[in-house]
Each structure stands twice: as structure tokens, then as C-alpha cells.
Amino acid sequence: MKHLTTLRAGLSALLVVGAWAAIGPAPASAADAAPPTSAAASQPASAGLLAAMTKDLGLTPAQAKARLAAEKTATAQEPAARSAAGASYGGSWFDAGTGRLTVGVTDARAAAAVRATGADTKLVPHTQRALDRAKSAIDALAAPDGVASWHVDAEAGSVVVEVAAASAKDHEVRSFLAKARTAGPVTVRHVSAVPQTLAAGTVGGDPYYTGNVRCSIGFSVNGGFVTAGHCSGAGAAVRGWDGSAIGNFQGSTFPGDDYAWVNVANGWWTVPVVLGWGTVSDQLVRGSNEAPVGASVCRSGSTTHWHCGTVLAKNETVNYSQGAVYQMTKTNVCAEGGDSGGSFISGDQAQGVTSGGWGNCTSGGETWYQPINEILGHYGLTLTTA
């Protein structure tokens, strides 16, 4: 991190850790705090994160803490439960009502083995593999603008295609849906709007800039940070909030995928922190275990700071006007322009970088993120952790 003389400037340098550029006064930085004790490390989240969950999810602090602990258990159980289900595996999700992982199975005989791992079971009509095949066939179709996205919904036992309500009767949309139904079981849901990417023109605050675009930084990795691909292309220069050079886009993909990574140079460094910007405490990043559908997740960005919600779907194809993006995760967390590229985190586990969405943080909406582990694997990067 470059040497800066003011608290605000110092915190802005911490953007390189994968937090979000902030507008307004900055909080004390976690980078300056003492290393966490073993007792602190055992906590599911900081008091600030728990407070954000109570606000956005309508939970008491005790309920938020219990939910994070239950989600951590469910995340740890999922690999063994999936293996126990074998060929009958029909997907899995976190049930907020029971606080347990639920695994779909197509063969009741597999249920006992799954339950032995600690998970609950539900009999479903289709295997995850069959639904994934149907979704892959739909991915090969050209989707019109009125189609927002599509994903496998294991609990519903179908591929859910979301269509803008205003476009539902359009000939192109109806034709797409007819072709989609030939691929396998399809459920159509109407949504109020189609997703858009969340970059923004240059405005004041503590963001990173590339050209005349403002985006948010995701997570620290070895040698830099990850962010959204639609923010800029490979080779583009990146500047901090004060206009000083940070580095360059070393790789960028959009559409198809929506991820990129930027190298850190010119005196900047990286630390495993997602900034709370005064809304919550700075959050340490300790890993990237993937949270299940139904789990809580929080997002931070240079425009709207901290907001929380739940994971709604995985492996969703999002139909942006620039082209489709695959293998996205959908949430009901709000976002606005300039939040692109920023951090999605569940507890202390990195989840992904913000891609786009619809709505805003006044009336609500939905947001998609590109999963972090896919980004790390594509570029051969290592997540910086505490």
C-alpha cells in the first residue's frame, strides 16, 4: 500500500484488498487492527456484520448469529451429502426455516445415506445432472432482450426461466420459451425488469477508476485484486480515488463470463479485508467455501456500501444486452451503478464479485455475482486470507 498521510487516503488504499470504494467518511481500517485472537476467529461474524443482517434480513442479533453458525455447518456437510446421494443427487439448499441443509434425491433408497451425513432429504423428480443438461441446451439458444435469466431450481425440479412481465407476450420471447421447453422441464417466472451491469460514470468517492468508468474492487489475491470483467478490458490502466496509479487489468472476460483481475503496483499492497465503510466493521476474509442456496450473503460496494440478503440460485445464465453470462449466482441483495466488481461475502467466506442486477437500494431488487472460486481457477490466482 502506498504511504498516504490522511486516514481517508489510507483507507482508500485498502480498496486493493477487495473491499468497496466508499462515498463519505471512512471507518478505521481492519488493516491497522491487531491480529484476531483464536476466540475472535471462532465467532461466525463481527458485531457489525450481525447488525447488517438484522437490518436487511429482519433477524435479531441472536438469530443472525445462529443462522451463520447453521450455514457454516451446512456448507461443511454439502460435499459428503452430495457424495452419499450418488447418481440420485437432485441438488441441495439451505433451509432457513429448519436451519439445516436439504438434499434432493430421486431415489428414496439414497435418503438414509444422505441423512447419515447430517443433512435432511427431499424426494425430487429430476437429478441435478438431468436439469444441468436441460439448462446447457437452453444456454445454446439465442435469447431475446425480454428474457432476463435462467437457472436450475433443484427444489422446484425444473429450469426456471425469468421473463420481464412487459415482454411476456412478445413473439420472440414466446418462441424462445417454446424451444426451451423441448430441452426439459421449464418453469416461467415473471420479473419486473431485466438485469443490467452496474458500472457507472466517474463520480466522487473512494472507488477505482478505469477510463471514465467507476467500479468496485472485489477480493485481494496474490499480486492484485479481482473485479468484474465488464468494467474494462485487458491492459486498461486502473487509478485509485486520488487519481494515483494502482496497476492494470491483467485479464478480463465479458460477456460469457464477467470477471477480471488487476495487478497491484506503485506502492499499493493487498490485505484480506472487505471494508465496512462505517456501516459495519471491516470484515476479515478467511476462505472461499461456497455457501448453499438459501444461505445469507452480504454485499459491499462503492455506491451503496453494505447490504445483506440470501442466495436465491446458482449456475444461472443472465441475459445482459451485451450478451449472456453463465454460471452466475443470484441474490436478493440490492445494488446500484458503481457497485460492479465488489465483494459478496458470507460470514468470513468470500463468495464472488458483483456483476449486475435490477432495481435499487431504495425499492429493492436482485443482483448476480460471479463466483470467486471460478475466477481464482481461471487465472490461477490464490485468495489472500487472514
Measured distance CA(39)–CA(313) in Å, rounded: 33
88, 92, 216, 340: the catalytic one is 340
Query: Could you tell me which residue, 340 or 28, shows the higher pLDDT?
Result: 340
Length of the chain: 386
343 vs 44 pLDDT, higher one: 343
Find the range with the poorest average confidence among 106-110, 192-196, 208-212, 317-321: 192-196
Position 39 in a domain: no
**Residue 52 forms part of a structural domain:** no
Grid cell in block for residue 306: 453494505
HSE, side-chain direction, 13 A CA sphere, residue 176: 25
- Tell me what the mean pLDDT of segment 95-124 comes to: 96
| Residue 194, CB-side half-sphere exposure with 13 Å CA sphere | 22
79 and 154: one domain?
no
- pLDDT of 237 reads 97
DSSP, res 34: P
pLDDT at residue 198, rounded to an integer: 62
Q: Which one of the listed residues 29, 56, 126, 230 is annotated catalytic?
A: 230
Q: Does residue 234 come out as left (phi exceeding 0), alpha (psi in the -120 to 50 range) or beta?
A: beta
Please state, in angstroms and rounded to a whole number, the distance separating the CA atoms of residues 13 and 30: 12
Does residue 31 belong to any structural domain of this protein?
no
Mean pLDDT of 337-343: 94
Is 43 a residue whose pLDDT tops 60? no
What cell does 374 get?
471460478
Give the helix, strand, coil percentages of the chain, each rounded to 5: 25, 35, 40
Shortest CA distance to 132 belongs to which of 80, 183, 75? Answer: 183
Percent of the chain with pLDDT over 70: 86
Verify cis geometry, omega within 30 degrees of 0, for the bond prior to 35: no
Listed residues 157, 174, 192: the one ending a domain: 192
Domain that includes residue 302, residue range: 197-379
By mean pLDDT, which of 38-52, 76-90, 110-124 is the weakest? Answer: 38-52
Q: For the chain, how many structural domains are there in total?
A: 3
Q: Interior CA angle at 303 toward 300 and 304, to 5°? A: 55
Phi–psi pair at 112, nearest 5 degrees: -60, -40
Which residues pair with residue 318 across a beta bridge?
Answer: 149, 325
Give the per-residue pLDDT at 22: 28
For residue 239, the one-letter residue type is R
Residues 231 and 312 occupy one common structural domain = yes
Among 123, 144, 172, where does a domain finish?
Answer: 123
Q: Is 258 a catalytic residue?
A: yes
- Contacts (Cβ under 8 Å, ≥6 apart) of 5: none
CA distance 58 to 302: 24
pLDDT of residue 28: 25
Same-domain check for residues 234 and 370: yes
Is 340 tagged catalytic?
A: yes
Report the CATH number that the domain containing residue 176 is assigned in CATH.
3.30.300.50
Burial class, 133, CB count within 10 angstroms (exposed 0-12 / middle 13-18 / buried 19+): middle
On whether both 235 and 215 belong to a single domain, the answer is: yes
Domain membership of residue 1 (yes or no) is no
Asked if residue 336 is part of any domain, the answer here is: yes
Taking Cα atoms as reference points, which of 112, 75, 81 lies closest to residue 295? 75
Name the CA radius of gyration of the chain, rounded. 21
Could you confirm whether 339 is annotated as catalytic?
Answer: no
pLDDT of residue 213: 93
In three-state secondary structure terms, 304 is: coil
- Looking at the fold, whether 313 and 239 belong to one and the same domain comes out as yes
DSSP string, 77-141: HHHHHHHHHGGGEEEEEEETTTTEEEEEESSGGGHHHHHTTT-EEEE-SS-HHHHHHHHHHHHTS
Residues 286, 210: Cα–Cα separation, whole Å: 29
What are the residues whose beta carbons fall under 8 Å from the beta carbon of 58, sequence distance 6 or more? none
One domain for residues 278 and 347? yes
CA distance 334 to 360: 6
161 and 209 belong to one structural domain: no
Neighbours of 253 (CB within 10 A): 19
Catalytic, out of 56, 258, 282, 339 = 258
Q: Do 235 and 374 reside in the same domain of the chain?
A: yes
Q: Give me the residue label for grid cell 437500494.
A: 361
Residue 313, domain member (yes or no)? yes
199 pLDDT band (50/70/90 cuts)? Answer: low
**pLDDT value of residue 278:** 73
pTM of the model: 0.75
Burial class of residue 326 (count of CB atoms within 10 Å of its CB; 0-12, 13-18, 19+): middle
